[in-house]
Every structure is written in structure tokens, then in C-alpha cells.
Structure 1
Amino acid sequence: MHIKPIKTEADHRAALARIDELWEAEPNTPEGDELEVLVTLVDAYEETHFPIDVPDPIEAIRFRMEQQGLEDKDLVAFLGQRSRVTEVMNRKRGLSITMIRKLHEGLKIPLECLVKEYQLVK
């Protein structure tokens, strides 16, 4: 096993190719250990070089609604009356702390998504 830090795009491609070769390696074997270390290195490299930005709150809510097959009317329990749901989803009204808590607890949307600032439409 010869493992080195991933510093360049070429190193990254080589590590991904090696991971592909080792993908079915048994745990607690030399190949399995190499796979585990390479995956950790690739993850660290990708987190630094290809960061994924947290979505804005409305996009996070829409994504969760799509995942769970929810409609706007299902958000009344979290946001209040139907007109408030419409205002929030159309970016005419911001989320309150109470709404954020309810969405986080009820729909399991990460807090870092819900508290991110976003542009309201005037």
C-alpha cells in the first residue's frame, strides 16, 4: 500500500481510480484498509476544493417537500395560515424563529439551512 496526500487534480483522479479498483475489498484486510484511507483523503480533498454551499431556506423547504411528497397546504402546521405559507414560499415574508424551530423539528431540515440569510422579494 502506497498512499500519499492528494494535492493536485491528477492525484485526485488517481485516488478515485484506485478506489474504484478496491471498491469490493473486504474490511480489515490490507486492501480494505487502503480503501478506507483513500476514501478519507478524497473526502478531505473534495470538501476543500469542491465545497457545496448550504441551500437557502426556501430551497431547503422545497427540497424536503419534494422528498416527502408534501404540498404547500402541508406547511400550514409549520408556518401558520395558508396565506402565510404562500408569502413565505414566494419570498414575500421571512421565516420567524418559531417557524424555523417547527420546520427543523417537524421536517428535519438542518438549522444551518433554515437560518441562512436570503433575499426577500418586494
Structure 2
Amino acid sequence: MKINNEADYKKAFELFDALTAVMTDNPQKQAEARLIAEAIQAYEQEFVMFPRPSTLSGMIELKMYEMKLKQKDLAELLEVEASRVSELLSGKRRITLDLAKKLHERLGIDGNFILEVA
């Protein structure tokens, strides 16, 4: 399935919602729903522009979502205490140079963005 325009995009969402409401354990409907979800995702990646976070905490939260990380997982990845991650996300703590490097290397956050908003 290929989505070519906004009307197709809306129809795909309607079809996806209808399928997920009735698919239960039906492998055929699950496969169809998966194909529609993939088409929706492909269309969004090409045509839908989501606003870029303007804060470091917002960018970290976006990366956590993309990487399916919880705060505990992020703390392990960055080699810091879980409480430190919480303080960073709430804006109660500023980042260090070492942490900025880890955010860049391990989460792929642009170094210039880190410098601009930190």
C-alpha cells in the first residue's frame, strides 16, 4: 500500500482504526493492519514535518521515545544516576561537558544543538 496524498493518509488511519477494533487473533487482519501502519509511517517520514524540540530536555525525551528508553534505561546508557536524568529532564540540573559528549555519541543529539540550548 502506498499513500500518495493527505486524503489517502486520512483514509489509511480510518482503515487502520477499523482493523484494530476487530482484528483480535486474526492473523490476516493483523498483517493488513501492519501493512497500513508501515504505509502511514513511510508517508509521515517523507511528508509530515513534526516540530523539532527547542529544549534539551525535549530533545532527550524525543530520543528516549524513538529508542524506546525509560529514564532508568537512559541513566544506564549515559552512565549516570537515575535521579540525575530526572533532574536533567525537569531542568533542575545543567549538563556537564562529559554528559554533553555522551548525549551526542549515544543518543545522536547534534552537538551544536546541545551548545545552543544548554
The TM-score bracket by the shorter chain reads 0.5 to 0.7
1:100 aligns with 100
CA distance in 1 between partners of 2:104 and 2:114 (Å): 17
- Which has the larger helix fraction? 2
Map 1:9-28; keep pairs closer than 5 Å.
9-24=6-21, 25-26=23-24
Aligned-residue CA RMSD (Å): 3.5
Regions of 4+ moved over 6 Å: none
SS of 2:40's partner is: helix
Distance 1:100 1:27, change over 3 A: farther
Asked if 1 retains the 8 angstrom alpha-carbon contact of 2:3 and 2:43, the reply is yes
Letter in 1 for 2:42: A
Aligned partner of 1:61 in structure 2 is 57
Matched positions, count: 92
Mapped to 2, the partners of 1:5 and 1:50 lie a distance apart of 15
TM-score (norm: length of structure 1): 0.54
Q: Which has the higher contact order (CA 8 A, sep 6+)?
A: 1
Identity of aligned residues (%): 21
Structure number with greater Rg is 1
Task: Report 1:69-84 matches (<5 A).
Answer: 69-70=86-87, 74-75=93-94, 78-79=95-96
Shift, 1:64, TM fit:
4.6
What's 2:77 paired with? none
Deviation at 1:69, TM superposition (A): 3.5
Q: Distance in 2 between matches of 1:16 and 1:51?
A: 17
The 3 A distance-change label for structure 1 pair 17 and 50 is: same
**What TM-score do you get using the length of structure 2 for normalisation?**
0.55
- The offset of 1:61, in angstroms, is 3.4
